[in-house]
Structure 1
């Protein structure tokens, strides 16, 4: 199989999904209304609630939800062969992720931009909300703690990425001022911003910067992680227009250009996929394809974290309700295209099957390193980019995706603490600064309490896939109940959620058995808690769904008599 055909089939199917399926879902099922007054206008405060140009908001949403996960997951999952990973990414993007993301924005926007956790209390019940909020907190804790480790590792391994990664923050601050204070045209600002960012990528290999000698007794990993959380804390408190929006927007443009270069190199280099279509000789210890494929690839097919972003920050910035389709569904398509690029880089970026097998010698191998190495080979062979420059470009892509997700993730974690403060009448917790302190403190406690070098977040990372997919299923449950209450067709969300909850529950049970056999009682206990929480929320949601269906039937019967 030539990688060009893989690329064209994948991108073509996703484009068809956006132009046809998303139009049907948004217009016929969600029934988006251009005259609906969104929370961004109704509750505008210039900090979190800000009506935003849909292209800028798409950039924020896309880069916030993408992160490093749509690279890591697919580039690990190809160990089962490229066909299963390809099919799940493509069909997952079209029928799962796009509907999930757009639906979460729509549902939140229709309910004063409440987070999906708070919305659960209104739609399902307070008991379900309490359990749901715990699952949400765990997902955010994992994402923030682990992505800090991912970013730190890449900055250590590729010091040529330091200048473009941190320079992007300065560029974003300037862009925010030019757009919102100087009212400069978006096109001009975009061109200047992209030139500045790619200029720094070019300069990066000439001026590589490492941190250890600057910070004293701390290790380089510890130093980067602490600096990242200090930055993320400040970013989470600033108005969204000042840093979050412009950083995500300009990074989104830059990253799409990077994807364009990679896909262009695929066309020019025309590499063959050396990985097997179905790998019948997987390394010893590799878990079964079903259900683990569907939790190994989360972001890139469907991810519960997207529901948090959709209902946490994006819904507070939607200018007009029809923008839900472009921002939410097309944001999912953007992430799907990144996951597809990861599959191609990790399967066609190596010269021979033996080279590929040398990377994928055990389950969990590949990931970011396979994407960077394979992608750099394709860029070098296709458009002649120097190896170091190619690796810097792809490393910056990974770090910027992870960084923008971490920015948004910490702000969302702050919202969780503020919502808990509101639910339990703890006044000081409802304030932004104390809530941010708690968010950062919990992440650092996990990072340094469970691992002295700051990598403690990796301890609970094995549970991220199942917990994240559980969250996606529960988000679809809330949307489904809301659709039933409105008398709308529910099968377009009920079908995906039933499939997802089945696979996730099976995945949790398989992991539970694995942790028991290994004697890993900490992860065994945590897995059991998440499994019990899943069952309880499913029961609560099923009860609410059944009651609402009966109520609808009773109302219809009364109207007919």
Structure 2
């Protein structure tokens, strides 16, 4: 329990110390924000800071920090270190710059921001990459809750149309369409803060309920080794698996939503860096729950693996009941149903804005919004109903998300590094985590079963994957240093001239 408390204090302290350093490096000022300058009443709407924080938290979190943290707990309490330091030095930095660079570019989507600093070729790649990723995320977060609702209602003896997954999927997609289409302050701005509070309350309840119910959290220093029941390597599988609980490229697609609603640039530290720290705290709590509730003599066994095997939603339900009793049942239901849905609708909304920036379509027009909402939700319906009728597997749609998610985070950090280099500011605060995530993504890609690991020679071949990841990271850092040096020399020449 001591190591858990230490990591918790480090996370909170990181917000006030390193987070402030990051904010000062960027240098927010009193310029007019896009929310004030554009204010179209649809996507550019000024909202109060507390609401921006809670909406951002729910946008980036959903059930990501819970699912990922529980999966990460399979490696044992060493996962606490990645959640803590990954959040402070990588995830929160990534979220801050993805939000503030968007804000400095009139609330542009992350594809446009990346293209500005990494070139037009990368912009073209990121546009396609972002939209595909967002549609996949939105679809998965519709299919999952629909299936769970049918399961829960079936246990209560409900029959008829509402015992059909396709019916609930249609209802959720209809909600998605409405939330994607109308003004951000009409639904998202009103109900998201409530669910954001529920997410925080659920984490607090689990944290307090663990010691009260006699669950002992193992210490890092007495369990500093991998406890994974399948002997899955820590590097880089744990770093990819935890995802949203430490760093997630998906967040960079969500931050521009709030970048369009800031009244002042000085709100960025609390809204972007702060929300990611809050997510890190939530992830730390759930990782501790995974390590504590399913602990046996000698460390973790297949208990947690079996709990997750029954379904991630079932595992969340189990943890909530064991730590909070009847209150946990209510919070668990809100969490496993509402939180994924609220991440899904903002995924489709972000996809709409990415396409709008790409095509130059003014989203103040109802007609232009319809032109994008209809095909986007149509793709979601095709994938979602395809899963329901057995045409696609839920796992097939989802299993490529983890690697692409962290690769996106890597690209955003390199973009932020180029921005800082061009402004002659301390680019190491983003270049170091960018280099690290380059190694993580390349290593995972070279041996994971859903990537190069499809080929028997590469599957879990650490002798090849580890050096490959290091080489890729060094090459990327070298390319960045060369490009940033040219950029600085070019600026110097212009100044001298």
TM-score bucket (shorter structure)? 0.7 to 0.9
1:149 equivalent in alignment to 2:147: no
1:102 equivalent in alignment to 2:96: yes
2:255 aligns with 310
Relative distance call for 1:542 and 1:477 in structure 2 (3 A) is farther
C-alpha separation in 1, matches of 2:158 and 2:151: 11
1:265 aligns with 209
8 Å contact kept, 1:283–1:362 = no
1:436 aligns with 373
Relative distance call for 1:320 and 1:209 in structure 2 (3 A) is farther
1:93 aligns with 87
Relative distance call for 1:440 and 1:266 in structure 2 (3 A) is same
**Shift of residue 246, structure 1, vs aligned partner:** 1.4
8 Å contact kept, 1:70–1:298 = yes
C-alpha separation in 2, matches of 1:455 and 1:262: 35
SS at match of 2:247: coil
Contiguous gaps of at least 5 residues in structure 2: 460-467
The equivalent position to 1:510 in structure 2, one of 447, 464, 469, is 447
* Cα offsets for 1:215-242 (capped at 9, x unmatched): 5xxx622222221111111111111111
The equivalent position to 1:111 in structure 2, one of 95, 105, 108, is 105
8 Å contact kept, 2:66–2:283 = yes
C-alpha separation in 2, matches of 1:269 and 1:450: 39
1:552 aligns with 488
Which is worse superposed, 297-306 or 248-257?
248-257
C-alpha separation in 2, matches of 1:64 and 1:422: 25
* Cα offsets for 1:511-554 (capped at 9, x unmatched): 2333234999xxxxxxxxxx9xxx9xx97x98676344223235
8 Å contact kept, 2:74–2:291 = no
8 Å contact kept, 1:57–1:327 = yes
Relative distance call for 1:552 and 1:490 in structure 2 (3 A) is same
**TM, length-normalised to structure 1:** 0.78
2:428 aligns with 491
1:31 equivalent in alignment to 2:51: no
2:160 aligns with 213
Contiguous gaps of at least 5 residues in structure 1: 161-207, 380-384, 521-530
**Shift of residue 431, structure 1, vs aligned partner:** 1.4
1:452 aligns with 389
1:69 aligns with 64
C-alpha separation in 1, matches of 2:299 and 2:321: 15
C-alpha separation in 1, matches of 2:217 and 2:288: 7
Write the mapping of 1:246-285 to structure 2, written as runs, cut at 5 A: 246-273=190-217, 277-278=223-224, 282-284=228-230
Relative distance call for 1:450 and 1:405 in structure 2 (3 A) is closer
8 Å contact kept, 2:198–2:331 = no
C-alpha separation in 2, matches of 1:416 and 1:104: 14
1:414 aligns with 352
Which is worse superposed, 251-260 or 128-137?
251-260
C-alpha separation in 1, matches of 2:270 and 2:320: 28
C-alpha separation in 1, matches of 2:487 and 2:91: 30
Which is worse superposed, 59-68 or 441-450?
441-450
8 Å contact kept, 1:348–1:374 = no
1:464 aligns with 401
C-alpha separation in 1, matches of 2:412 and 2:148: 32
2:464 aligns with none
Write the mapping of 1:513-528 to structure 2, written as runs, cut at 5 A: 513-517=452-456
C-alpha separation in 2, matches of 1:363 and 1:250: 29
**Shift of residue 429, structure 1, vs aligned partner:** 12
Which is worse superposed, 391-400 or 9-18?
391-400
**Shift of residue 437, structure 1, vs aligned partner:** 1.2
C-alpha separation in 2, matches of 1:13 and 1:392: 31
C-alpha separation in 2, matches of 1:323 and 1:270: 40
SS at match of 2:265: coil
C-alpha separation in 2, matches of 1:518 and 1:361: 27
C-alpha separation in 1, matches of 2:313 and 2:73: 13
Relative distance call for 1:421 and 1:393 in structure 2 (3 A) is same
* Cα offsets for 1:16-72 (capped at 9, x unmatched): 001111111102x10011x11110011101111011111001111000100112111
Relative distance call for 1:143 and 1:554 in structure 2 (3 A) is closer
SS at match of 1:390: helix
**Shift of residue 414, structure 1, vs aligned partner:** 1.6
Aligned residues: CA RMSD: 3.2
1:369 aligns with 314
C-alpha separation in 2, matches of 1:72 and 1:241: 28
8 Å contact kept, 1:417–1:430 = no
Relative distance call for 1:8 and 1:454 in structure 2 (3 A) is farther
8 Å contact kept, 2:446–2:458 = no
1:123 aligns with 117
SS at match of 1:488: coil
* Cα offsets for 1:486-516 (capped at 9, x unmatched): 1111000000011001111111111233323
C-alpha separation in 1, matches of 2:490 and 2:355: 40
**Shift of residue 262, structure 1, vs aligned partner:** 2.2
1:15 aligns with 12
C-alpha separation in 2, matches of 1:281 and 1:491: 33
**Shift of residue 124, structure 1, vs aligned partner:** 2.2
Which is worse superposed, 428-437 or 233-242?
428-437
C-alpha separation in 1, matches of 2:394 and 2:4: 34
**Shift of residue 319, structure 1, vs aligned partner:** 0.9
C-alpha separation in 1, matches of 2:161 and 2:307: 37
